[in-house]
Amino acid sequence: MTTPASPCSSAETDPAASCFFNALLRETDAWRLATTRHGEHIQLPVDAGELHLSLLHRSASNECRFAWPILWHHQGQTRPIDFDQALPRILATPALVGELDAESRATFQARVLESRANTRASLAERDDIAHLQRGPLTFAEAEQGLLVGHAFHPAPKSRAPFSEAEARDFCPEHRARFGLAWWAVAPELAAGDSSRASGAAELARELLPAALAARLPSDFVALPMHPWQAQRLRRRPWVAEQERQGRLQWLGLGEPQWLPTSSHRSLYAPGAPWMVKGSLSARLTNSLRLLSVKEVQRGLNLDAWMRDLEVERRFPGFAVMQEPAWLGWRGDDGEVDPESLVLLRENRLAKAPDSEAVVLATLTQQPLTPGGQTLLAARLRAIAEAWDESPAGVTRRWFAAFCEHVLTPLLGLAVEDGIVLLAHQQNIVVRLDDGWPVGMLYRDCQGSGVSDRFLAQRPALTTPPENHWSPATVRRYFHYYLLINSTFAVTSALAADGLIDEGLLLDDLRAHLAALRERLEGDPDCLDHALNAPRLDAKGNFFCYLSGVNEATLSEPARLYLPLDNPLAATDVASLTRDTGVPA
C-alpha cells in the first residue's frame, strides 16, 4: 500500500539502509506499525528510546520503501539521525537482535557499515545511473548494474576479504574487466568431468588464448580460473611446491575481455562459447563462495536429464544455461581441492551479446536516485507512452507475459518432470523484446534438485541422487526462491512505483497458478501449496549473517527459514496491509 506524504522525504535515498531494515523487520516482531495523518510508520523500540521509520510503500510480502531520515524519539524529544547512529542502538537492544557479545556486535556492525559504504561509493562513481534506471540494458550492463543487492539482507554489498583496490579490479559494480588466469595441470593432479561427448579439458581449451596454448605442455590440462582466486592460491605453500616441481605451471593471464557478473564469481566474455564459474575464497552475503564436487556434479546430471524433455518445444523462449563440465586439481590425498574448482556454463547469448537479457534483480532493485523508480517501472512507463495506453493496463499485461515465460516453465518442470530449479532473482535472466518478456534463461545448476515425481519416472535409477528432495523440502525452498524472492519482488516494485495496485497483480498471479493446476499433468503439490498454504517459508538472512555461519555448509539450512503470511492464500489481499498495530 502507498502512504501519503510525511515529514520525511523521498528526496533522500539510502538503499543499503532499506535492505538492512527490510531484513530486520521480516525476522523480528519487536516493532509496531502505526498510522497518522502523515501515513504509515514503523515504531522500533531500541535501547533508551524509539526509532521511527516513515513508509512510502509496504507490499503484501512486507517489502518496504522508506522515507528518510530516521527519526529518534528520546525523552520527549524527536530529531533526525543517520543510519550510522541508529545501528549501534539497534545492536544494543536484545529484544531486536538477542544478546550479543562485544566481538560479534563489532564484527556485524563493521560489515553492515562496510556494505553501506560500498553501495554509496559505487553509486557515486557510476556515470551511467540514468541509463541503468531507464534501459534498455544488455546482459553485461544488467549484470554490472546491480548496485544495491539483496533487498532483504543486512549487508548485501559486504565483500570480505577484498581490499578496496581488489574490489575495483574484480567487482561487478566497478565495471571490472580482466583476463582469465590459466594454469597447466599435470595429468596426475588434474581432475574433471563432462556430460558431453567432448571431455572437460577439451571444452576448456575452447577458451584458451593461442599465445598461452603454445606454452601448454603436452598431456597437461589447461585450467581457467578467476585471477583473484589464482593470486590467492599461488600464496599457498602446497601450490608453490607444485609449481617448483613443475606439476602446476603458471601460464598467465589472457586478454582483459572477461567481466564478473552479479554473483562476482561467474565470469562472462561476449562471444565466448562458455561462461566460467569458479570457487572464490570470499564471503559474499551469507556464504563462503567455494564450489564442491557434489555441486558441480549436479550440473552434469541436469544436463543429461534434460536432453529428452523437449523443453524448448514445451516452453518456448525458456532455456537452462547448462553446466556440462568442471575442472580442478587434486591434493596429495587424492581429493579434489575445492578452492581450485571451476565449471563451464553455456553462454546462450554468444551470438546476441547486445540483446536485452536482464537479470531480474537489476530490473527490480530499489531506485538508485532520490525520487527515482525501478528499471522495470521505467521500461513499462516508456512502453505505455509509446503505445498510448494506461500504465496500469500495460503493467497487467506485462506481468501476465512474465508469468507465462518465467513461472510456467519452472512450475512445469517441477510438476511434470520432477526437476526443481531454485530460481531466485539472480538466477533468472529475463529475455525482453523492447522491454516485453519473451523468454527466460535459468542459470546456476547447483541450485537444482529432484522430487519424488522425478524418481517415479525413472524406475531404472536404483539410487536416488544426492539432491533428491522430500515434498517438505521442495515446498520450503522452491516457493521461497520463485515466489517470495522473485515474483513478489516484481509485484512489490510495480506497486511501489505507482503503476498498479498490488492486489490486482496478486489476483492475476493466483489465477495463473490455478490455470496451471488444471493445465499441467503430474504432481501438483507445489501449486497446491502456493495457492492454499496460509504461510510460506522465507529465508532469514539477517540472523544468518549476524550469527556468522556459512550457509553453504550448513547440514540443516532449514533452520534459517521462518514463516511468512502467504499473500496468495488471503481471501482479502487488503487485509495483509491494514493497520493492526502489530507487524502484518
CB atoms within 10 A of CB 581: 9
Q: What is the number of residues in the chain?
A: 584
- Say what the pLDDT of residue 570 is: 65
Q: By C-alpha distance, which of 122, 101, 24, 124 is closest to 70?
A: 24
Q: b/e string for 328-340 if b means 16 or more Cβ within 10 A? A: bbeeeeeebbbbb
Pairing of strands 448-450, 419-421: antiparallel
DSSP SS3 for 122: helix
How far apart are alpha carbons 482 and 537 in whole angstroms?
A: 12
CA 31 to chain centre: 27
Q: Pairing state of beta strands 64-74 and 190-194?
A: unpaired
C-alpha torsion sign, points 523, 525, 531, 532: positive
* DSSP secondary structure, 526-574, as one string: HHHHHHH-SEEEEE-HHHHHHHT--GGG-S-GGGGEEEEE-TTT-S-GG
Q: Is the pLDDT of residue 460 over 80?
A: yes
Q: Which residue has the cell 548494474?
A: 145
| φ, ψ of residue 387 in degrees (nearest 5) | -90, -5
Dihedral (Cα; 286, 132, 484, 114), 10-degree rounding: 30
Q: Which neighbouring-strand residues pair with 250?
A: 183
What is the enclosing helix (H) or strand (E) of 140? helix 139-143
User: Residue 178 in contact with residue 166, Cβ under 8 Å?
Assistant: no
- Is the pLDDT reported for residue 559 higher than 60? yes
- What pLDDT is stored for residue 47 in this prediction? 85
Render pLDDT for 190-219 as a digit per residue (tens, 0 to 9): 999 999 999 999 999 999 999 999 999 999
User: Parallel, antiparallel, or unpaired for β 436-442 and 318-320?
Assistant: parallel
Nearest Cα residue to 134 out of 149, 123, 125, 145: 145
Residue 582 has pLDDT above 60, yes or no: no
**What digits encode the pLDDT tens for the residues 509-543?**
999 999 999 999 999 999 999 999 999 999 999 99
Listed in sequence order, the residues at least 6 apart from 480 whose beta carbon sits closer than 8 Å to its beta carbon are 536, 537, 538, 539, 561
Residue 363, beta-bridge partner list: none
Phi, psi of 258 (to 5 degrees): -100, 140
Paired residues of 46 in beta bridges: 49
pLDDT at residue number 583:
33
DSSP string, 186-236: -TTTEEEEESSSS-HHHHHHTTS-HHHHTTPPTTPEEEEE-HHHHHHHHTS
Go through the domains of the chain in sequence order and give each one's CATH number: 164-303+322-346 (no CATH), 357-576 (1.10.510.40)
pLDDT reading at 551 higher than 80: no
Distance between CA atoms of residues 30 and 40, nearest Å: 17
Q: Is 347 within 8 Å of 331 (Cβ atoms)?
A: no
pLDDT tens readout for residues 367-391: 999 989 999 999 999 999 999 999 9
pLDDT at 3 over 50: no
pTM of the entire predicted model: 0.94
Angle between helices 502-519 and 391-402 (to 10 degrees): 30
Tally of CB atoms within 10 A around 411? 24
Whether 164 shows a pLDDT value over 70: the answer reads: yes
The predicted-structure confidence for 270-303, as pLDDT tens digits, reads as follows 999 999 999 998 776 666 789 999 999 999 999 9
Angle CA 289–290–296, to nearest 5: 120
3-state secondary structure of 244: helix
Tell me the mean pLDDT in the region 297-317. 97
The H or E element spanning position 111 is helix 102-125
Across 476-501, average pLDDT = 97
Quote the pLDDT of residue 548: 81
Percent of the chain with pLDDT over 70: 94
